[in-house]
Chain A
Amino acid sequence: MKALLIAESRQGELLPGSYETLAFANQLGAETAMFLVGSEDALPQFDGSLYWADAAEAGEYNPEEHVRLLLEVVAKENPQLIVLSHSSYGWDLAPRLALALQAGQISEVIGVKDDAMVVPACNSKLQRVVKTQGGVTVVTLQSGAFNLVGEPAGTPTVEKLSAQAAAKVEFIGYEEAEEGGVDLSKAEVIVSAGRGIGKPENLAMVDALAKALGGEYGASRPVVDSGWAEHTRQVGSTGQTVAPKLYVACGISGAIQHLTGMKKSEFIVAINTDRDAPIGEVADVLVVADLKQFLPALTARLEG
């Protein structure tokens, strides 16, 4: 089997998810070729063919041109499998490519089962085992689901693709995350509030516990989106990635976007009324209780 791996570049840097596509292909024992629109200074390290277009010509975000280039490569390489990250780049590009190839796409793969792929459903409470009806299969991989053994190594044989910048969607520029505010990465203890806190007034209980533990409070995306906490306190794939000594998740269901940002914490306590919540999968201790009762009790006990 041959797999075409689509690497990813942002602001001239190769993104680490690129190597996860390689790890996935290695697990399948597939032959590989790689495709990258990126910077010449940041090419992936691996032994094999790399089809490379200069991001200065093609644009890092220019999906129509990326699809056009990919169709050239697919015609040459005839892969059975095309692999992307399930990232803002991958989930944007993959369906365009699948449609152009009349191929089936399987999104956010977390595992392989025989000739089928395993993907999460319903906030990871369920898993689907999915396959395509034959022909080329396009897959996107959940971030962190496949990891390379050892450091990336090797030197690719580069074939340069010539690209055009013309695009229906005009890329204007990147905007960095807002600066300032609290630096959660320095906190030894983080107590985070999720949607389960119910209303903004209850954030005070989370903050009180954080203070009693000598830490900072964080928040999940819905809490930040609701304007209850500032974005600099957001933990997850679109916020900060943290690994404190203790992480306490209060009323956080455990969507993968959140887990990505905190699962490397040394010790994880989850407090939730839903004992099936996916946060339980990464928690060392799951407290099944009402936050409004448990948080003040724990805070009082620690202060007492």
Chain B
Amino acid sequence: MKILVCIKQVPDMESRFKLNAKGTWYNDQDLAWRMNEYDEFAVEQAIQLREQLGEAEVVVLSVGPDRVKEAMKKALAMGADRGVHIQDEASYEKDPFQIASAIAAYAGDQSFDAIFTGMQSQDRGSAQVGVLLAGMLGLPAVTTIVSFEFDNGTATVRRELEGGLKAQVKLAFPALLTCQLGLNTPRYPTLPNIMKSKKKELVSIPVADLLKVEAVTVTDTIRFPEKKGGGLVLEGDIAEITEQLVSILKEKTTVLK
């Protein structure tokens, strides 16, 4: 079985963001980068499936500038077998339709039996690329899975709905699944596996070789939200702000007797 897992590198969400010169995306300098959190669950599920089957290969794919290879190396150290990097210095200017098109152009003749992606990225959060990719490849897709079992060519998964409700669905492979947080427990790369991963194949393909379509959506501007500014900020000496908070709670709430 051939398994593809698509990942994205994103900034740490605790970062203090600045805007880029064009005002269309965040400035990508001085940020701490990591693998998109949802994708860690996708990588883990792909590796678990390979472990279950014995005979299988896990290919990790990412679109972006050279730095995204750091996130790919983590996936290789977790246990993916090889990497395919779609090299694009301006991936942030591509829309989900283009990103999915580029991946579909690569994956089209590779006959993947299973594709795992995160359900969305933490930075853009469109939740589109996985479903679009499945559509372009003519594969069935199920989004937002929180459990996965595979038996005899068929996966049984739970989709997470709202309010704690789940839906159990079943589908035959080949198929694409988008992974929600909590699907599994992503493993930490061990030192021996980090060492081994350095020898794994990681090829780069220029995006221009794969991407032949125009964007269907375009970002006009990016901006900071207007601060509603109602909240009071307490900062400084712990004893002092403790007193301040207690007086506020006494005044504004009825919970302190």
Contacts and interface: CB of A to CB of B under 8 A. Distances in A.
A214 B215 CA distance: 54
A297 B238 contact: yes
Contacts of B220: 116, 129-131
Interface in B227-248: 227-228, 230-235, 238-239, 241-243, 245-246, 248
Q: Is the interface of A mostly helix, strand, loop or mixed?
A: mixed
Given A88-B162, A274-B14, A133 B233 contact: no
B201 interface: no
A119 B96 CA distance: 14
Nearest to B10: A122
A125 B238 contact: no
Interface residues on B, range: 35 or more
Nearest to B142: A169
* Residue from A121, A189, A284 whose CB has the most chain B CB atoms within 10 Å: A121
Nearest to A300: B242
Contacts of B163: 177, 237-239, 241
B171 A170 contact: yes
A298 B245 contact: yes
A294 B242 CA distance: 7
Interface in A47-92: 61, 64, 86-89, 91-92
B140 interface: yes
A160 interface: no
B53 interface: no
Given A120-B125, A174-B167, A125 B162 contact: no
24 contacts: A10-B165, A89-B161, A91-B119, A95-B128, A100-B135, A116-B220, A119-B125, A125-B13, A126-B224, A128-B219, A129-B221, A131-B218, A172-B156, A175-B158, A237-B163, A238-B160, A239-B163, A246-B249, A253-B13, A253-B14, A285-B231, A287-B235, A297-B238, A302-B256
Given A169-B142, A288-B233, A289-B238, 8 more contacts: A91-B120, A102-B216, A103-B216, A172-B168, A174-B167, A174-B168, A175-B167, A281-B231
Interface of B: 11, 13-17, 26, 95-97, 119-120, 122-128, 131-132, 135-136, 140-144, 156, 158-172, 181-182, 214-225, 227-228, 230-235, 238-239, 241-243, 245-246, 248-249, 252-256
Interface of A: 10, 61, 64, 86-89, 91-92, 94-96, 98-100, 102-108, 116, 119-133, 168-178, 188-189, 213-215, 221-222, 224-225, 231, 234, 237-241, 245-246, 253, 266-267, 269-270, 274-277, 280-281, 283-289, 293-294, 297-298, 301-302
